[in-house]
Amino acid sequence: MANPFQGEVALTLNDERRVLKLTLGALAELEAGLQTDTLVALVERYEAGQFSSADVVRVVVAGLRGGGWQGGYDDILTADITGGPLEAARVGAALLARAFTVPS
């Protein structure tokens, strides 16, 4: 089970439940993947509903890798995500929120 107090979010990928987490290493990988952008700009895009599908893929892959998944971007492009793109976007938003807020 995903523990929101540790920043974890669950996602079913190829019929397998995964726990995602934006660890410091996952955040560094995510930021490097943004190239000229910043994590703050990414969070702002999510908050404004202006994120791209590429943003969603980057956040989900970083979260999966932070949760111990060994796959990469090519793997996620052909994966079946239960709930589809909308669920992936929701998970991405939850990951970012949990990484940058203190649970109440």
- The closest alpha carbon to 26, from 101, 96, 89, belongs to 96
Q: What pLDDT sits at residue 32? A: 87
Cβ density class 7-19: b for 16+ within 10 Å, e for less: bbbebebeeeebb
Residue 103's pLDDT is 67
Helix, strand, or coil (residue 8): strand
Place of tokens 């669950």: 10
pLDDT tens-digit profile of 17-71?
999 999 999 999 888 888 667 888 888 888 899 999 999 999 999 999 999 999 9
In whole angstroms, how far apart are CA 45 and each of 23, 80, 92? 21, 25, 12
- What confidence score (pLDDT) does residue 37 get? 74
Domain boundaries, the chain: 4-100
